[in-house]
Structures are given as C-alpha cells and as structure tokens.
Structure 1
C-alpha cells in the first residue's frame, strides 16, 4: 500500500469515527463544513483523496486537528513524530510545500506546520471558525501575510499572530524561498 493509500484509508476510518462520536449526520457535517454530502461519503468510503482545503474544513467542523483525521499515533505524555512521518499536504513544481509536523488537542486542535514558499508563489485560506489563531515564525526570506486584504511583511526572524476567522493568505514576493513555522489553534467543536 502506498503512503497515499494509507492516508486515504486512515482519513476514511477516522472521519467516520469522529463524525459518529460527535453525533453528526452526513448532512449535518456537510452543512457545518461547507462541503457536499457526496464528498463526505466519498471520503468515508476511501474513494477520493480530498484537497487540503476540504480536509481543513472538515477538521474544523469536527473540532479536531488534521493530525487526528490522518491517524497519527499518540502516546499519553510525549509523542515524537519522526521526520519521515511529517505529512506533505501540498507542493508545487517550483518547490513550494507545506508539511503538517505534529498536532494535538489542547483543548481544541493544536497543529504545528512547516512551510516553504518559492519566489512568486502563495497560498490562500478560507476563514476558520471564530477563536482560531495562527502563529507564524519566519526562518528564511520575507513572507507577505495578507489578512482581510491588508498586507503585512514578516521578515526573517520575525513572528506574527492573528485570529484566522477572516480570509487570509501567505505570499512570497521576494527572490529567495520563504521558510516558516506555523502553529494553528482551533477551538473545540460546540
């Protein structure tokens, strides 16, 4: 079984488990997540590999981290995630990429990400639920952070934090790759 097959199977199994534990119907979860009922059925039957955006919407609607949906092993006190277990969520031919490094529930989902954006590339995000915060630390290059249309330059060594309940995006307008670490804290589902 390939890594993608394993990921698809884990997502299918865990989506159904979390949806059932939360008492959400297919229609109820679809409405909360803003995705189609058919998409949720396809994911639960391991017949599709959804986009990162769809996966994030479903995780947010369930009030769990993407890590939980992807079936990372968790131990009671300390959980080490070897480098080879980091999940590449997207990449481009030019070399941009993002990796989910680790995640936990604290008391809602808490995720640690590693990002690399090549010159001229970027990534946009739909608003997350109210109470979701993102913390970013740039380790190379200069990131252009856009929140509600306002641009904020974040140079090497600088950090930024914001409530992510508005449209936001990350862009590299420079000549060198941007590397950053991001933490996302999502409130627990109500």
Structure 2
C-alpha cells in the first residue's frame, strides 16, 4: 500500500469515526463544513483524496486537527514526529510546499506546520471558525501575510499572530524561497 493509499484509508476511517462521535449526519456535516454530501461519502468510502482546503473545512467543522483526521491511535504522552513522517499536504512544480509537522487536541485542535513558498507563489486560506488563531515565524526569506486585505511584510526572524476567522493568505513577493513555521489553534466544538 502506498503512502497515499494509507492516507486515504486513514482519512476515510477517521472521518466516519469523528462524524459519528460528534453525532453529525452526512447532511449535517456537509452543511457545517460547506462541502457536498457526495464529497463526504466519497471520502468515507476511500474513493477520493480531497484537496487540502476541503480537508481543513471538514476538520474545522468536526473541531479536530488535520492530524487527528489523518491518523488516530491512542497517543502517548510524548509524540515524536521524525522529519520523514511529516505529512506533505501540497506542493507545486516550482517547489513550494507545506507539511503538517505535528498536531494535538489541547483542548481544541493545535497544529504545527512548516511552510515553503517559492518566489512569486502564494496560498490563500478560507476563514476558519471564530476563535481560531495562527502564529507564524518566518525562518528564511520574506513573506507577505495578507489578513482581510491588509498586507504585512515579514522578514526572516519576524513572527506574527492573528485571528484566522477572516480571509487570509501567504505570498512570496521576494526573489528567494520563503520559509515559515506556523501554529494553528482551533477552538473546540461546543
């Protein structure tokens, strides 16, 4: 079984598990996440690999981290994630990519991300639930953070935090790759 097959099977199993645990019907979760009922059915039957955006919407609607959706086992008190076990969520031919490094439920989802954006590339994000915060730290290059239309230019060594319940995006307007670490904290589902 390939890594992609393993990821598809884990997502199918865990989506069904968390949807049932939350007491959401297919239609209820679809409405809450803003994705089609058919897409949720295809994911639960391991017949598709959804986009990162769709996976984020479903995780947010369930009130769990993406790591929780991708793999669920009883976690030890300390979970070490070697570099080769980070989950590559997307990449481009030019070399931009993002990897989910670690995540936990504390008390809501808490995720640690590593990002790399090549010059001229960007990534936009749909708004997350109210109370979701992102903390970023630029480790190389320069990054333009756009939050609800307002641009913030962040150089190497600069950190920022913001509530991510509105439109936001990350852009590399520079000539070198931009790299950052990001922590996302999502409030628990009530």
TM-score (norm 1): 0.99
Query: Which aligned pairs between 1:42-61 and structure 2 lie closer than 5 A?
Result: 42-61=42-61
Which runs of 5 or more structure 2 residues have no equivalent in the other structure? none
Q: Partners of 2:94 and 2:74 in 1: how far apart?
A: 34
Q: Partners of 2:87 and 2:170 in 1: how far apart?
A: 20
CA-atom RMSD in angstroms: 0.8
Q: Which residue of 1 aligns with 2:119?
A: 119
Q: Partners of 1:75 and 1:38 in 2: how far apart?
A: 31
Q: 1:74 Cα deviation (Å)?
A: 5.0
Structure 1 residue 135 and structure 2 residue 117: aligned? no
Aligned residue pairs: how many?
Answer: 190
Q: Which residue of 2 aligns with 1:170?
A: 170
Q: Which residue of 2 aligns with 1:94?
A: 94
Q: Which residue of 2 aligns with 1:159?
A: 159
Q: 1:83 Cα deviation (Å)?
A: 1.2
Q: Partners of 2:20 and 2:72 in 1: how far apart?
A: 19
Which runs of 5 or more structure 1 residues have no equivalent in the other structure? none
Q: Which residue of 2 aligns with 1:146?
A: 146
Q: Partners of 2:162 and 2:16 in 1: how far apart?
A: 31
TM-score (norm 2): 0.99
1:10-53 CA-to-partner distances (Å, cap 9, x unmatched) read 00000000000000000000000000000000000000000000
Once the two structures are overlaid, the 10-residue window that deviates more, 102-111 or 67-76, is 67-76
Structure 1 residue 83 and structure 2 residue 45: aligned? no
